[in-house]
Amino acid sequence: MYVGGLERRVSDDSLRVRFGHFGHILDIDVKNWESPSPFAFIQFADIQSVVRAINAYNGGAASSGVANSGSHAGITSKNKFKTNWGRTIVTNKIWIGGLPASCSQDYIREKIRVSFTDTFNELIYDRRWNEALLLFVSNDSAQRALTMIKTKQITFWNDDEKRDVHVPVDYCSEKLHDYFVDRKFRADKESATTTVATAAASSALCTNAATSELNLSSSGTTVVASSFGAGSSSSAGAASSAAVVPSTSSLLAPPPDPPSHLRDTSR
């Protein structure tokens, strides 16, 4: 973004304070610092931040679809600063934002590869921000891809709205590339650490619950076994006594004597 009408010897810090609330600032380059009319180029991390800043100072001069009432954080269109789109630096990388949440990394990769089979190198997709970086083998390929996305020759399917949507696109500088990669992998690392910690805590809870249940089960088994053992000993003792000293009622009565005429009298 271009900013004119600055005071002499303006500092980077003062510009960050004035424009930092519009979005993340990647770089500030002040020109003619010693002259009475210095100007600056401010690089934001996304196009929407540039649009907000231009609209705030120019009373809605930028066209972006971003709502604006002509003022922002106390800034009116009468402010002496002049803002506009900055110079374009062509690179072999382009940034796209506002991707539908339904887009997957594989879908975006194949969508671009159809038109750039041999010249599309890499995709870096940050699902948390619905943004992606497309890396090509040459500036020419990146320029052609940017033109195709701008002119809606390449669109992306929004599964919620059931239609193809047009997304904002711009060239990606080295500073934006580094910021994008650092932000993505820092968030991925934090997410992985949180997942591991949650899994460890869950595992510890399950282990403690299982240990408590095992202790309770073992305690119950001991009590039951003790009671059962006492009863069994008594029963076994009684059975043993019954076997050694049988009761009278359990003995068989002797058979009666045979009739006298059947008795053997030869002895």
Give the domain extent around 109: 93-175
What pLDDT, in 10s, does the model give residues 135-187? 999 999 999 999 999 999 999 999 999 999 999 999 999 999 999 999 998 87
126 and 168 belong to one structural domain = yes
pLDDT at 35 over 70: yes
In a domain, 35, yes or no: yes
Sign of the dihedral through C-alpha 165, 116, 127, 16: negative
**Among 150, 175, 200, residue at a domain's last position:** 175
The pLDDT value given to residue 71: 41
pLDDT at 134 over 70: yes
The pLDDT value given to residue 187: 78
In a domain, 228, yes or no: no
pLDDT at 258 over 80: no
**Among 133, 158, 175, residue at a domain's last position:** 175
55 and 103 belong to one structural domain = no
In a domain, 68, yes or no: no
Asked if 132 and 125 touch (Cβ cutoff 8 Å), the reply is yes
51 and 121 belong to one structural domain = no
97 and 171 belong to one structural domain = yes
In a domain, 6, yes or no: yes
**Among 140, 159, 175, residue at a domain's last position:** 175
In a domain, 156, yes or no: yes
In a domain, 200, yes or no: no
The pLDDT value given to residue 233: 46
171 and 107 belong to one structural domain = yes
Lowest mean pLDDT among 4-13, 16-25, 110-119, 258-267: 258-267
Lowest mean pLDDT among 115-129, 221-235, 247-261: 221-235
The pLDDT value given to residue 190: 77
CATH number, residue 124: 3.30.70.330
Percent of the chain predicted with pLDDT > 90: 57
In a domain, 115, yes or no: yes
The pLDDT confidence band at residue 80, using thresholds 50, 70 and 90, is confident
For tokens 């973004």, the residue is 1
pLDDT at 109 over 70: yes
The pLDDT value given to residue 163: 96
The pLDDT value given to residue 38: 94
The 3-state secondary structure of the chain, one letter per residue? CEEECCCCCCCHHHHHHHHHHHCCEEEEEEECCCCCCCEEEEEECCHHHHHHHHHHHHCCCCCCCCCCCCCECCECCCCCCEEECCCCCCCCEEEECCCCCCCCHHHHHHHHHCCCCCCEEEEEEECCCCEEEEEECCHHHHHHHHHHHHCCCCCEEECCCCEEECCCEEECCHHHHHHHHHHHHHHHHHHHHHHHHHHHHHHHHHHHHHHHHHHHHHHHHHHHHHHHHHHHHHHHHHHHHHHHCCCHHHCCCCCCCCCHHHCCCCC
Token duo for residue 92: 């072999």
102 and 167 belong to one structural domain = yes
pLDDT at 92 over 50: yes
The pLDDT value given to residue 39: 95
Verdict on whether the full-model pTM lies above 0.85:
no
The pLDDT confidence band at residue 89, using thresholds 50, 70 and 90, is very high
40 and 99 belong to one structural domain = no
100 and 166 belong to one structural domain = yes
pLDDT at 204 over 70: no
Average pLDDT over residues 66-73: 41
Domain count, the chain: 2
170 and 97 belong to one structural domain = yes
